């Protein structure tokens, strides 16, 4: 991965080539979009926001031309993908480079997702029906090819969870973009800088108040049987936010106490096997750290 960053930083057109290649590959395997976004953020942090915008704009044009030659029609989807994947990383790169605070881009992503969720629910009307219309043709095609896979009730239940899954994936994607870009920058120009910044991640008090209010509203939704799904969206996003603070606390304590790396391996295995449970524990740790400051020990 370091070789990718080194090649991208050799010049503008080297970065364009890798970014466009990543976008093309992302149409088949979406994870490659993270690499494209990370290259844009890296250039933004290292060279400047104008260079980041120039890279993003040029890459979107070439990606759109590629899609046009492949499909023969106006590539509005390509434009949309390019703007979504490459636009926000410029802002995240500017925010992180100006503050050296990895919590700030995470907050920007969280606030953007909360706003997106609100607009999406208002414009869509029935979100569950929207997601049902998106996933039911896929399962119907699989059922025709392989026989019965899921019942109609199971598909409806999955549709009710798709909005939350979508928000989680978007949050993790942009987090991966900015973290990978910062790690690249650290490896190339500031050895050890990424780890130092990550171990110091701390959310502001406003986020703490936000997760408390959202949690209370979710509880009221359950007890009083209210139907305010947007509140659950907010709570999930804020839980993700504090999960990264909890993860930073764990990394800091292991670093300062010289504990074996096996503790981190076990933690990440738990995150892979039971992400809901491990993520909630980390979020609770993050919230508790905001109140008690578990990292008073020096982490540098």
Q: Residues 97, 44: contact at Cβ < 8 Å?
A: yes
pTM (global) more than 0.95:
no
Ranges 75-84, 121-130, 133-142, 218-227: which has the least confidence: 75-84
pLDDT more than 90, % of the chain:
60
Q: Please check the confidence at residue 13 and state whether its pLDDT lies above 50.
A: yes
pLDDT score of 267: 93
Q: Please check the confidence at residue 300 and state whether its pLDDT lies above 60.
A: no
Longest dimension (CA), the chain: 60
3-state secondary structure the chain: CHHHHHHHCCCHHHHHHHHHHHHHHHCCCCCHHHHHHHHHHHHHHHCCHHHHHHHHHHHHHHHHHHHHHHHCCCCHHHHHHHHHHHHHHHHHHHHHHHHCCCHHHHHHHHHHHHHHHHHHHHHHCCHHHHHHHHHHHHHHHHHHHHCCCCCHHHHHHHHHHHHHHHHHHHHHHHHHHHHHHHHHHHHHHCCCHHHHHHHCCCCCHHHHHHHHHHHHHHHHHHHHCCCCHHHHHHHHHHHHHHHHHHHHHHHHHHHHCCCCCHHHHHHHHHHHHCHHHHHHHHHHHHHHHHHHCCCCCCCC
**189-227: pLDDT as tens digits:** 998 899 999 999 999 989 999 999 998 988 887 777 776
């Amino acid at each position: 991965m370091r070789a990718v960053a080194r090649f991208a930083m050799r010049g503008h057109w080297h970065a364009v080539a890798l970014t466009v290649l990543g976008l093309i590959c992302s149409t088949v395997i979406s994870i490659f979009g993270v690499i494209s976004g990370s290259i844009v953020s890296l250039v933004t942090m290292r060279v400047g926001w104008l260079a980041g915008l120039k890279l993003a704009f040029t890459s979107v044009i070439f990606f759109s031309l590629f899609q046009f030659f492949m499909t023969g029609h106006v590539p509005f989807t390509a434009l949309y993908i390019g703007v979504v994947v490459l636009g926000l990383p410029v802002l995240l790169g500017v925010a992180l480079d100006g503050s050296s605070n990895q919590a700030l881009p995470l907050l920007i992503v969280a606030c953007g997702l909360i706003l997106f969720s609100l607009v999406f629910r208002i414009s869509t009307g029935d979100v569950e029906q929207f997601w049902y219309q998106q996933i039911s043709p896929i399962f119907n095609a699989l059922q025709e090819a392989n026989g019965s896979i899921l019942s109609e009730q199971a598909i409806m239940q999955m549709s009710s969870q798709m909005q939350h899954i979508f928000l989680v994936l978007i949050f993790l994607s942009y987090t991966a973009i900015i973290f990978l870009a910062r790690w690249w920058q650290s490896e190339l120009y500031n050895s050890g800088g990424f780890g130092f910044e990550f171990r110091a991640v701390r959310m502001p008090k406003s986020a703490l108040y936000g997760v408390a209010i959202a949690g209370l509203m979710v509880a009221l939704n359950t007890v009083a049987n209210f139907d305010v799904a947007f509140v659950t969206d907010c709570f999930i996003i804020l839980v993700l936010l504090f999960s990264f603070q909890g993860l930073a606390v764990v990394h800091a304590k292991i670093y300062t106490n010289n504990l074996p790396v096996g503790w981190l391996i076990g933690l990440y295995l738990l995150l892979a096997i039971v992400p809901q449970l491990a993520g909630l524990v980390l979020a609770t740790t993050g919230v508790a750290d905001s109140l008690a400051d578990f990292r008073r020990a020096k982490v540098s």
